[in-house]
Structure 1
Amino acid sequence: MPTPIKMPALSPTMEEGTLAKWLVKPGDTVNAGDIMAEIETDKATMEFEAVDEGTIASIAVEEGTEGVKVGTVIAMLAEEGEDVDEAAAAAPPGDSPAKEPTETKEEEKGVVPAKAGTANGSAQPKATPASAGVTDKDRIIASPLAKRIAEQKGIDLSGVKGSGPNGRIVKADVESATAGAAPAKEAATPAPSAPAKPATLGGDLDAPYEAQKLNNVRKVIAKRLTEAKQTIPHIYLTVDVRLDALLDLRKQLNASLEADGVKLSVNDLLIKALARALQRVPACNVSFQGDELFQYAREDISVAVAAPSGLITPIIRDAGRKGLAQISTEMKELAGKARDGKLQPHEFQGGTASLSNLGMFGTKQFDAVINPPQAMILAVGAGEQRPHVIDGALGVATVMSATGSFDHRAIDGADGAQLMEAFQQLVENPMGLVV
């Protein structure tokens, strides 16, 4: 009996995803563990492995399709001895995802006019469903990824020939096209772009705009951080931390580690400092869980990384017991995977506390939003030369402002203050980070 391959739930919060890329095609033989597709979840782009062996009989969902619900049949697998054609026809009816909507010409350009009677101009035109592969003079059939790349490169998709199924324009077609490409008949008299109609709110907002569809990661960020600000009573505690001793130690350590190919960043030392501070003040290494308070025996530090798809927080697990060189090596690997969208669930799910560092952008001080179900996050600003009292005399020192955001349901102000004091002492006396 043919086996339906369904859209998997690749993270606990995943309800739908984008089938970014197929790595197999009908007729290909697969074995358990073979990579069949790349799927964009609510966190990252992940590889989807085959569970059974057999022959791919049919592909039910084209690559580039967005909003594919978990459990939707995306392909059919013929087992050994089964007729591939019969297996291809065996997909359950009514189990396919909604097809990609037909786009109006204004939507193809990314311009969405404001609807009359709306408060903020955010209402959008209704879309008419159309089956993939339908050809229409008013519609260009292209994958969402191809459309995004075309918009970035200034390519007119009407002049691009698609190499995908039923002439669908895919990523490779756009990457090989020339910016501004258009059919000959349109070259002489290009159609003018429809101007964006102004979105109005009390008559003040009249600037043209482009509507950009949220990716899965951005949707989750919006949902979770809104939940955090609405449900978690935040308290904020700020300390100024002198960095000179830590910078000197970093310089010495990097000189000794150069032969090993390790170069510590300031952020690597701050990760260790936060973990050691949590060891000293375990009352802050907790999370609020309704009628219970979870007390953690390990310091797993989630580190905010800016990726193209949105913010994500890979985790340095057991950071309090790891050496600085190991933290540095792991952080570089995780940050690279985060930017490439290749993090695995165990690499970003969990964590007992978070660190967000915007110092490299020159930000002096900021308040971060807690990442639930964690109960604290440390926001670190830039180190800068400031007047500072040194041994009772006014001088100049490299000083950094650090702000802790605490869930007041789980952490009292006094405990939060002790954590900030411990962090400050560890950074200003950094030999405690190497023992």
Structure 2
Amino acid sequence: MPTELKMPALSPTMEEGTLAKWLVKEGDEVKSGDILAEIETDKATMEFEAVDEGKIAKILVPEGTDGVKVGAPIAILAGEGEDASAAATAAPKADTPPAAAPAPAAPEPKADATPKSPPPAPQPAALAQKSAGDRVKASPLARRIAQSQNIDLAGLQGSGPGGRIVRADVDAAVGKGPAAAPAAAPAAAPQAAPGLSTHLVMPGPIEQAIPHEAIKLSNIRKTIARRLTESKQQIPHIYLTVDIQLDALLKLRGELNAGLQSRGVKLSVNDLLIKALAQALIEVPECNVSFAGDQLFKYSRADVSVAVSIPAGLITPIIVGADTKSVSAISTEMKDLAARAKEGKLQPTEYQGGTASLSNMGMYGIKQFEAVINPPQGMIMAIGAGEKRPYVINDSLQIATVMSATGSFDHRAIDGADGAKLMQAFKRLVENPLGMLA
């Protein structure tokens, strides 16, 4: 009998996803292990594999569909020897809302024996202000602009049909342009003092008339927006910055790369900084924590999440146990994770978790920045560019390669003094890098 292919749960927290792309079409023969579709979760785009052999009888969910619930049928697979067309005919149809029952015909109103006199014609000023039910008559665009400019529509006179307030009336109220001539002259308004406006002008949304492109948000971008908003709203951030001399680390990196050349390994500064942060977290375990309401989780292993920019946004693959790994192992693993992150091929276990994060924007020439904590982690280290600066070495002013590093700490879980200890340990390890290799 035909088999329903259902929306898979590609991560422990996945409840719905976007069917980004079908890689098969109706009538195609597939076997176990074939890639059928690309599913976009809230973290990455992942591949959906076939587990049975058969023929794609019917595709129930077209590609590009958002919000497909986990477990919902997305296609019908006809088994060996089954008629694909018959299986497609027997396929469950997409749920559609039942047709609304026709509304009963409204009874015709009976003629009133007593004729009523027509209501008096409203005055011109009243036409612009109120409609039936005390509702201001205004176009949707006029309402939107008035709301953004903090203007009370009830105080305006409309120049549109039937006294309707249009955009020109709102523009005139904020001094953008003249209003269209109303049907009747309004009552004299009180004169404002010279140089003062009678309306408070507030920044508003960009006018829709400006040429623009509306770009649909991906699930990844929606998740980034939601999580970072929650982080800034719910986590009290404290920021601590240190300047770190890089010359010793750069020299060591050059020597290590010369020795690793035969193995095809080339260390980056970032690889060494990952190692330094991991060791600092083990030295200062008070910062290798996460806040969980009435509990504090203290970790005995340093799993460092590293921010990687991908076309869809940002993802943080994890170097698990970075404190115990060699720098060459960290380098090899990081290159593999970053490459697969940009291709959308990371497994959930490779980017979910981590005890702390590192974000490096030095390659863009950014001198210093403050990163947003990635919950439920307790801290993130923001790395700026290494640059030549005047620097005091052995009580004399010299030129050194210096970078600024800023730690963002969850002040609910990490005290300022403990954060300062971590920054101090990180600075010491970077400035004396041989200690990381011991």
- TM-score, normalization by structure 2: 0.73
Which protein shows a greater Rg?
2
Work out whether residues 243 and 428 of structure 1, in 8 Å CA contact, stay in contact via their aligned partners in 2: yes
Matched, 1:233 2:236: yes
Match of 2:257 in 1: 254
Match of 1:336 in 2: 339
Shift of 1:13: 4.0
Distance verdict in 2 for CA 1:394–1:324, change over 3 Å = same
SS at 2:144 equivalent:
coil
Work out whether residues 305 and 313 of structure 1, in 8 Å CA contact, stay in contact via their aligned partners in 2: yes
* 1:352-391 paired onto structure 2 within 5 Å: 352-391=355-394
Q: How many corresponding residue pairs?
A: 342
- Runs of 4+, deviation exceeding 6 Å: none
* 1:262-281 paired onto structure 2 within 5 Å: 262-281=265-284
Distance verdict in 2 for CA 1:23–1:373, change over 3 Å = same
Identity percentage over the alignment?
70
Work out whether residues 120 and 201 of structure 1, in 8 Å CA contact, stay in contact via their aligned partners in 2: no
Shift of 1:208: 4.1
* 1:11-410 paired onto structure 2 within 5 Å: 11-95=11-95, 115-118=141-144, 202=203, 205-206=206-207, 208-410=211-413
Gaps of 5+ in 2: 98-139, 149-200
Work out whether residues 119 and 201 of structure 1, in 8 Å CA contact, stay in contact via their aligned partners in 2: no
Distance verdict in 2 for CA 1:93–1:317, change over 3 Å = same
| Distance in 2, Cα, partners of 1:12 & 1:268 | 29
| Distance in 2, Cα, partners of 1:274 & 1:70 | 38
SS at 1:399 equivalent:
strand
Larger displacement relative to structure 2 (35-44 or 20-29): 20-29
Gaps of 5+ in 1: 98-113, 123-199
SS at 1:33 equivalent:
coil
2:143 is aligned with what amino acid?
G
| Distance in 2, Cα, partners of 1:288 & 1:344 | 25
Work out whether residues 40 and 216 of structure 1, in 8 Å CA contact, stay in contact via their aligned partners in 2: yes
Distance verdict in 2 for CA 1:316–1:121, change over 3 Å = farther
| Distance in 2, Cα, partners of 1:310 & 1:119 | 32
Work out whether residues 145 and 204 of structure 2, in 8 Å CA contact, stay in contact via their aligned partners in 1: no
1:300 is aligned with what amino acid?
D
SS at 1:319 equivalent:
coil
SS at 2:75 equivalent:
strand
| Cα shift readout 1:358-405 (whole Å, capped 9, x = no counterpart) | 011111111100001111100000111111110111111111110111
Distance verdict in 2 for CA 1:329–1:262, change over 3 Å = same
| Distance in 1, Cα, partners of 2:146 & 2:358 | 35
| Distance in 2, Cα, partners of 1:120 & 1:264 | 57
Distance verdict in 2 for CA 1:327–1:203, change over 3 Å = closer
| Distance in 2, Cα, partners of 1:72 & 1:116 | 43
Larger displacement relative to structure 2 (283-292 or 263-272): 283-292
| Distance in 1, Cα, partners of 2:28 & 2:328 | 44
